């Protein structure tokens, strides 16, 4: 079918694979409206519909028949192992099989040097690995005593093992098969039987009539939200197509780049970062809209009574582009993957009865790195990201409280701090610095090779390393002690001191609470452990 897409690819200057991918995402919109009209009394028809659409995407459109067979093999192996292996090692067996297969395909992609313009099996396989490993853990949780489970595990556990048709429908859920969104099996089952909308059943009869489509327990507003996502995604895509070729991170390795002043190079690189992110915004927003049309993502009602559809989101664009700090930014990026890392790796490798520590962090880091691929650029980004997180934690603990009222105690469940003029200035400066560090940190992720990554960083004057290294040096050479004393003095003056120490508890300081983990938890914890060990030796 390449001849169908070739004219459009030539007109837009894109690869045929890219045009095919976007076409599949757009076709998912009308197909989503068909899916939700299949009666809940015919669940197998819904499952088969998912499988059929996915087959059409992979074989006649994308010409990935061998890729589909590989994914099918992963699905069938997972289904058999999760059903028949009753030991506590079952989830790890599934994890080793499907993750090992993904890593092998990453190696193949690297050997053949496939570019980003080439769409092959590793993209869908990354999504499927999250789904299959999560399912294995959900089945394992369904066999455990309820009192051993936390809230997430209780909500997502699988007690009634699915039929093969149901599991195939889950694995090949068509709006998310190519680039996400990833969803847990419990959410898929709720989508199929309509219980995702059960909150509406609690409303009065008059209220149900007002907020649902006549004759069906489907909330109003679904199409409006979904097609708004489609238009927004296409806008992001248009910005990337028309400006991404000129403004991207690869300019840092072009011959003309070092001839410009260092200020120009840093400034233009920030513009490049915006357009580099547009392609991710585009595909994730498009898939979110298609998923909403199937009914996925319903989260209740807003303050004005309108329906909310936030459950299928994988990215919060405005929050990312104007984030006041790195924690807020990373919490809004690739959110579904963060959940997977937290629930299926970070918490699972922690011994029973103990809190996640250095070992948990290291294993989570390795998982995140290998899940993305084997290119050196990924590891450079993740490694620097760990130090960035540590700096962010130190800033939130030691500097941020000085821009809040001394009487304000910031802790979980407390109201947000007042937005005073000085707090707004702090957030504004934080947003600029956060964007600059993000663009510097993410450059190797796109440049991929060690040579290009180091060359790009060097032509940017190593400003990210200087900023992060200098800040760490400041905090560990007396800055922390000075800032803590300043906080204590402010608190004491305001009459909110305890034993001469300020009572302010910095929110989001990097200390994990049960069930939480930052976006790159391993490196953050790893750096903290190294720092503690170093200072214990008075190095």
Which positions ≥6 away from 241 have C-beta within 8 Å?
Answer: 12, 13, 14
Q: CA–CA separation, 377 vs 370, rounded Å?
A: 12
Residue in the block written with tokens 């059903």: 83
Phi/psi of residue 497, each to 5°?
-105, 150
Selection from 60, 35, 56 nearest residue 47 by Cα: 35
Q: CA–CA separation, 486 vs 414, rounded Å?
A: 23
Token pair for 132: 């299959």
How buried is 215 (Cβ within 10 angstroms: 0-12 exposed, 13-18 middle, 19+ buried)? exposed
Phi/psi of residue 511, each to 5°?
-80, 120
First to last CA, the chain: 64
Contact (Cβ atoms closer than 8 angstroms) between residue 150 and residue 514: yes
| Helix intervals (H) in 57-184 | 65-84, 90-111, 122-142, 151-156, 164-171
User: Containing H/E element for 301?
Assistant: strand 300-301
Q: CA–CA separation, 171 vs 370, rounded Å?
A: 22
Catalytic residues: 372
Give just the sign of the alpha carbon dihedral 500, 503, 506, 511. positive
- 235 half-sphere exposure, CB direction, 13 A CA radius: 7
Contact (Cβ atoms closer than 8 angstroms) between residue 173 and residue 125: no
Phi/psi of residue 502, each to 5°?
-65, 145
């Amino acid at each position: 079918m390449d001849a169908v897409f070739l004219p459009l690819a030539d007109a837009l200057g894109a690869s045929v694979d890219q045009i095919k991918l976007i076409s599949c995402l757009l076709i998912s919109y009308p197909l989503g409206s068909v899916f939700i009209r299949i009666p809940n009394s015919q669940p197998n028809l819904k499952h088969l519909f998912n499988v059929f659409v996915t087959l059409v995407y992979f074989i006649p459109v994308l010409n990935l028949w061998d890729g589909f067979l590989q994914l099918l093999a992963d699905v069938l192996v997972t289904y058999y192992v999760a059903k028949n292996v009753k030991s506590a090692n079952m989830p790890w067996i599934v994890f080793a099989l499907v993750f090992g297969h993904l890593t092998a395909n990453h190696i193949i992609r690297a050997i053949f040097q496939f570019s980003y313009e080439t769409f092959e099996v590793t993209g869908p396989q990354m999504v499927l690995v999250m789904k299959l490993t999560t399912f294995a853990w959900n089945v394992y949780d369904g066999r455990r005593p309820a009192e051993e489970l936390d809230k997430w595990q209780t909500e997502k556990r699988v007690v009634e093992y699915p039929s093969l048709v149901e599991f195939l429908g889950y694995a090949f859920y068509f709006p998310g098969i190519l680039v996400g969104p990833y969803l847990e099996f419990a959410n898929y089952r709720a989508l199929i039987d309509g219980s995702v909308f059960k909150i509406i059943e609690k409303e009065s009869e008059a209220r149900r009539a007002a907020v649902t489509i006549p004759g069906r327990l489907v909330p109003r507003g679904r199409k409006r939200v979904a097609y708004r996502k489609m238009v927004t995604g296409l806008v992001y895509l248009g910005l990337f197509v028309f400006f991404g070729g000129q403004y991207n991170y690869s300019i840092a390795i072009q011959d003309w780049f070092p001839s410009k002043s260092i200020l120009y190079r840093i400034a233009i690189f920030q513009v490049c970062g915006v357009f580099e992110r547009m392609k991710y915004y585009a595909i994730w927003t498009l898939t979110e809209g298609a998923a909403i049309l199937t009914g996925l993502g319903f989260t209740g009602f807003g303050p004005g009574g309108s329906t909310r559809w936030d459950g299928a989101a994988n990215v919060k664009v405005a929050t990312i582009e104007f984030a006041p700090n790195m924690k807020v930014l990373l919490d809004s990026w690739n959110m579904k993957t963060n959940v997977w890392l937290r629930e299926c790796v970070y918490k699972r490798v922690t011994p029973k009865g103990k809190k996640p520590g250095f070992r948990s962090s290291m294993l989570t880091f390795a998982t995140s790195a290998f899940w993305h691929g084997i290119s050196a650029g990924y590891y450079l980004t993740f490694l620097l990201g760990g130090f960035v997180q540590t700096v962010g934690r130190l800033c939130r603990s030691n500097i941020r409280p000085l821009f809040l009222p001394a009487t304000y105690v910031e802790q979980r469940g407390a109201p947000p701090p007042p937005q005073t003029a000085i707090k707004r200035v702090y957030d504004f400066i934080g947003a600029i610095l956060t964007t600059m560090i993000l663009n510097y940190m993410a450059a190797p992720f796109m440049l991929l090779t060690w040579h290009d990554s180091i060359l790009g960083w060097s032509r940017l004057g190593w400003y990210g390393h200087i900023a992060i290294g200098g800040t760490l040096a400041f905090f560990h050479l007396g800055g922390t002690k000075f800032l803590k004393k300043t906080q204590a003095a402010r608190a004491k003056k305001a009459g909110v001191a305890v034993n001469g120490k300020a009572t302010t508890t910095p929110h989001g300081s990097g200390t994990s609470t049960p069930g939480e983990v930052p976006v790159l938890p391993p490196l953050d914890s790893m750096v903290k452990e190294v720092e503690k060990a170093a200072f214990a030796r008075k190095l």
